Amino acid sequence: MFNTPGCGLSRWAPSRLIIGLLLPLIAGCSDAHLSFLDPQGPIAAAQRQHFWWVIAITLTVVLPVLVLTPLILWRYRYGSRARYRPQWEFSLRADLAIWGIPLVVVAVLATLTWRSTIALDPYRPLASDQPPLEVEVVGFDWKWLFLYPEQGIATVDELVIPAGRPVSLRLTSASVMQGFFVPALGSQIDVMNHMVTRLHLEADAPGVFPGRNMQYSGTGFYRQRFVTRALSADAFADFTHQVRAQGRAFTPEVFSQLMAKNTHAALARALDGSDSVASTSHAGQTDDAGNPADDSTPLRFKHFPSGLFGAIVAHRAPDWGQDTASLSTTRPLSSHSPLPANSSLSIHPALAAAAPTGVTP
């Protein structure tokens, strides 16, 4: 699942190299969607805009330094005939300018910052005529588990969402702190053990966007990536039906393998037995243990214990008696909270403080 084509650099022709160097910075990658400079959703698009605006506004004070310093150094070099005033140490006009201009620039930036920060608050639900898709995210060492409580399915290292519809994420970590991030779609947010953070994203159109953990979490950190697949509404419905029909069973063994420190490939090997996976691995790619590895083995589950997310947050054992397999697939969409009302969740302090954006745990 990670062998999406690279950024126009798959072949090393010199012209390609130059394009490959310039293009990512200017437009982002068209095929790999690595960056918010190639935004695939409303949040990332706004972030790109803010990025360039902030740079442009700040350049008004930075450019003069870059231009004038060499000029001054040259004009007043030792031995030049330029005027020399060793005692000159103050000019009211110059001082007004050097205090005043940065002040104005910072005032403009502050206004922009206030507005953009509140508008792009990751906790703020996205405006849309469709209800958001609820997804629960758990960061493990070193893979991501995605739970879809309404659909009753779960995926590992693969976030599948309908395009054009907001996604409302509740996130936690089953291990140390991690950073959940899909650059092409929007903000990153920290995920922490025993706590829940929130994030809202949306993809404009169907596509595949890389995502990953940004917060160092140990030796498998560099492999802790996932893909986000945005599908059309129909394709998304097909996908969920297909997983409900053909996905793997979410057994206690699966859960204990998720809790173990391993990467996607090792997890897949543990669940499948090593033989079946080795045959599909990329040539030459090995993990740290020297075994053939494959990060692309799909790990999709047709059910999971209800309230699994809440149990992980609260450090409780999953309730294997209650299961999403009993969910009716035809149940209408709702945005109910998947957590049991009386769960002894420890609430993120920041959540407890009344968030003016109207988000409560």
Partner 1 sequence: MNDSTHWLLGRLDASALPFWDALQHPTTKNVINAVIASGAASMVVLGAIAVVIGLTWTRRWGWLWREWLTSPDHKKIGIMFIALALVMLARAVIEAVLMRLQQALGLDGGFLTAEHFGQLFTTHGTIMVFFMAMPFLTGIINYVMPLQIGTRDLSFPVMNQISLGLTAAGAALVMISLVLAPFSTGGWTGYPSFTGRAANPGAGVDYWIWAVTLSTLSSTLSGINFAVTIYKRRAPGMRWMRLPLFTWTALCTAILMIFAMPPLTVATALLALDRYLDFHLFTADLGGNMMNYINLFWAFGHPEVYILILPAFGIFSEVFSTFAGKTLYGYKALVIATLAIAVLSFTVWLHHFFTMGQSAHINAVFGIATMLIGIPTGVKIYDWMLTLFRGRIRMSVPMIYASGFLMLFVLGGLTGIVLAVPSVDYQVHNSLFLVAHFHNMLIPGLLFGMLAGTNFWFPKAFGFRLEERWGRRAAYAWIIGFMLAFFPLYALGVLGMPRRTVAFFTPAYLPWTLTALVGATIVLLAMACLVIQLWVSVRDRHLNAMPIGDPWDGRSLEWAVSSPPPEYNFPVIPEVYGRDAFMLEKERGKAYQVPDEFPDIVLPANSPMGVIFAVTGTAMAFGLTWYQWWMVLLAAGVTLVAVIARGFCRNTPAPCRVKRCVVPT
* Dihedral Cα 51, 52, 58, 59, nearest 10 deg: 150
Q: Which does 122 bind (CB under 5 to 8 A by kind): Cu ion, partner 1, none?
A: partner 1
Is 97 or 249 the residue whose CB approaches partner 1 more closely? 97
To partner 1, the closest distance from the beta carbon of 334 in angstroms equals 25
Please name every residue paired with 173 in a beta bridge, in sequence order, or none if there are none.
139, 193
Q: Which does 54 bind (CB under 5 to 8 A by kind): Cu ion, partner 1, none?
A: partner 1
182 vs 196, beta carbon nearer Cu ion = 196
Reported as type and span, the H/E element at residue 100 is helix 92-119
Distances (CA, A) of 171 to 76, 134, 185, 352: 59, 11, 16, 16
Q: CB 16: neighbour CB atoms within 10 A?
A: 14
320-349 binders of Cu ion (CB under 5 A): 348
320 binds, among Cu ion, partner 1, none (CB under 5 to 8 A by kind): none
Q: In the complex, what is the shortest distance from the CB of residue 260 to Cu ion, in angstroms, rounded to a whole number?
A: 24
Our CB check for Cu ion shows the closer of 192 and 203 to be 192
Nearest to 56 by CA among 120, 105, 117: 105
Question: What is the rounded distance in angstroms from the CA atom of residue 242 to the CA atom of residue 348?
Answer: 36
Task: List 227's β-bridge partners, or say none.
Answer: 158, 210
Q: Which is nearer to partner 1, 108 or 278 (CB)?
A: 108
The least distance separating Cu ion from the CB of residue 270, rounded to whole angstroms, comes to 30
Q: Which two tokens stand for residue 30?
A: 């068209």
- In angstroms, what is the minimal distance from the CB of 228 to partner 1? 13
Considering only CA atoms, which of 239, 203, 228 is closest in space to residue 329?
239
56: number of CA atoms within 13 Å, CB side? 7
> Of these partners, partner 1, Cu ion, none, which one is at the site of residue 8 (CB under 5 to 8 Å by kind)?
partner 1
CB-CB contact of 144 with 164 (8 Å) = no
Nearer of residues 12 and 129 to partner 1, judged by Cβ: 12
Nearer to Cu ion, 321 or 349 (CB): 349
In the three-class reduction of DSSP (H, G, I as helix; E, B as strand; rest coil), residue 53 is classed as: helix
Size of the site for Cu ion (CB under 5 A): 3
Question: How far apart are CB 353 and Cu ion at their closest, in Å?
Answer: 12
The binder of 127, among Cu ion, partner 1, none, by C-beta within 5 to 8 A per type, is none
- Strand 167-173: give its sheet, edge to edge: 197-201, 167-173, 133-140, 143-148, 153-156, 299-301
Report the nearest approach of partner 1 to the CB of residue 249 (Å): 29
Evaluated on CA atoms 227, 233, 235, 240, the torsion sign reads: positive
Token representation of residue 106: 């910072």
Residue 214, contacted partner among partner 1, Cu ion, none, CB below 5-8 A by kind: partner 1
**Partner whose footprint covers residue 93, from partner 1, Cu ion, none (CB < 5 to 8 Å by kind):** none
Tell the smallest beta-carbon distance from residue 72 to partner 1 (Å): 5
Site string for Cu ion, 183-222 (x = CB under 5 A): ---------x--x---------------------------
CB of 262 to partner 1, least distance (A): 13
The residue assigned the tokens 């990467």 is 263
C-alpha span between 347 and 349 (Å, rounded): 6
By C-beta, is 47 or 262 nearer to partner 1? 47
Closer Cβ to partner 1, 212 or 300, answer by number: 212
Binding residues for Cu ion, rule: CB under 5 A, are: 192, 195, 348
